[in-house]
Amino acid sequence: MPEVLAVIGNLTEQWQHRIKESRPDLTMVFYSEPHDLENHLDPRITILAAGGGRVTRAICEKLPHLRWLQTFSAGVDGVVQDLAPQVTITSMKGLNQVAVAQHAMAFLLGLTRLAPNPPSTPRSHLVPLRTLEGMRHLIVGYGHIGRQIGEYSLHFGMTVEGISRRARPDQNVATWSELDRRIGQADVITLACPLTAETSGLIDRNRLQRIKPGAFLINIARGEVVDQDALVESLTAGHLGGAGLDVTTPEPLPSGHPLLQFPNVLVTPHVAGNLPDYMDRAAAWLIDNLERDRDGRPLLNVVNRSDGY
């Protein structure tokens, strides 16, 4: 049976042509939206390339021959549990790490240099601004993005600590067992971890209370990593100095949501990883992996099913 590649995404005709040229041995179909695939599903599909959140359980159940899923996103939460264990999953982890890391730093600079003084504030009533120099920055999830945030933070004169599954003492990175101790010592906590069973609800009411008064929380991971109701309580009580959130539950937040009312909270609609040429980069990545698959070479960014990323 010939192999069939299905691609869901807004790719230009030029990129579609280049993908076809890379694997003339494959039958290929291109869809702009997931519903196009659902309405014209080919059960022979063996390889599927799609953006984050576009592969549903309903689609997976109708693809009995699927052997490989290439996501166009770094995160694979909501996908791993929907696929049979024999299906290989590859992500594009690292593709947009610079953009996401810069977004995290933009939040932090906004909270310390921009948000404290609305434009109508009389000069005599200005709140003193803070600098990042000397701040202790705890980065929870020290992968591609976390390390990039760490590099930027060092340039601003911050002290950087990381939390990861595996300790790296030479980089001041500790394991999860150190989270509760270190979270209370940090001036900034940035969440850059994947959403897994281990990290869902990671920053709960108890850990929010452990954070030192006046510290900042930045979340560019997933909304579900934080207990959002407890976060609102902490901000209302004035415990946290502020928060920068690119991810929330739900997305986007409804008009009038409490998180949108705080002057010391910056919210963006899950756009930290956006790049003007993202799909061009993603298409080039896909071609690289397709050629690796053809040649029997290791694929890039194979997801560890037990770890969830």
Lowest pLDDT segment from 14-23, 49-58, 148-157, 224-233: 49-58
Q: Which residue, 96, 104, 56, is CA-closest to 73?
A: 96
The mean predicted confidence, pLDDT, of the chain is 93
85 pLDDT above the threshold of 90: no
- In the CATH hierarchy, which top-level class contains the domain 4-94+276-295? alpha beta
Question: Using CB atoms within 10 A of its CB, is residue 88 exposed (0-12), middle (13-18) or buried (19+)?
Answer: middle
β partners of residue 27 = 4
Task: Record the tokens describing residue 287, joined without a space.
Answer: 């071609």
Q: Alpha carbon of 139 to those of 180, 242, 283: distances in Å?
A: 13, 16, 30
Amino acid at the residue 228: Q
Q: How far is CA 161 from the centre of its chain?
A: 19
CB 47 within 8 A of CB 5: yes
User: Which phi and psi (to 5°) does residue 178 adopt?
Assistant: -90, -5
**Delimiting residues of CATH 3.40.50.720 domain(s) in the chain:** 4-94+276-295, 97-267
d(CA 42, CA 27): 11
Q: Give the pLDDT band of residue 54 (cuts 50, 70, 90).
A: low
Which residue type does 16 have? Q
pLDDT in tens, 213-248: 999 999 999 999 999 999 999 999 999 999 999 999
Residue 203 corresponds to which tokens in the numbers above?
A: 């920053």
At the topology level, CATH places domain 97-267 in Rossmann fold (3.40.50)
Q: Tell me which residues are annotated as active site.
A: 222, 251, 270
pLDDT bracket for residue 160 (50, 70, 90): very high
Residue 53 scores a pLDDT above 80: no
